[in-house]
Amino acid sequence: MRRTTRRRRSCSSCKTGKPTRSRCKGGCRLDDQNEQSLVSLDQALLQAQADPDLEPAFFKRLLHSNLYVLGHVEDAQIEEDGTVWPRDNSTLHITHFDVDGQTVLPVFSAPDHLRSLFDEEPDFILLRATNILASATPDLKIVLNPGTSVGRAFTYEDIQKLLR
């Protein structure tokens, strides 16, 4: 009889979590080669962080993106596959947080970024980035991918510059 042992190893992508199926406990999404997969907006942000000359390309990609926000739609039509469609009388509830007296709206480029912050599956909605940004108020800070290595905060002033 042969004795086998399973060695616990850290994720080769983020070096923090232990892989379990296709997602490490550190929160990154893993593909078959055990490498972190990034959405194009994340790639554009990383490139802009490395080279400020690439920021305009990141901003353009951001404005043409859909982003995930915590929240739910009240009184919506739900398809068999779980897709939620708002009705004319539906109410959209978006979750924001108070951080040190400032209102913060977390937004995410991928559902895995959002899921990595919670033990249980959170309710989330996919919205156009331009709609989210256009609804910003002076007391709101929007944070893209909080708790990840591909994050960035936007103040009201930043958002107004983007929308011009």
Whether the pLDDT of residue 6 is over 70: the answer is: no
152: closest CA among 84, 104, 98? 104
The rounded distance, in Å, linking the Cα atoms of 129 and 152 is 14
The pLDDT, as a whole number, for residue 109 is: 95
State mean pLDDT over 133-142: 94
Q: Quick: pLDDT tens for 32-74.
A: 332 334 689 999 999 999 999 999 999 999 999 999 999 988 8
Q: Which domains does the chain have, with CATH numbers?
A: 65-163 (3.40.1350)
The rounded distance, in Å, linking the Cα atoms of 35 and 159 is 32
The rounded distance, in Å, linking the Cα atoms of 74 and 79 is 14
- Measured in degrees and rounded to the nearest 5, phi and psi for residue 114 equal -65, -50
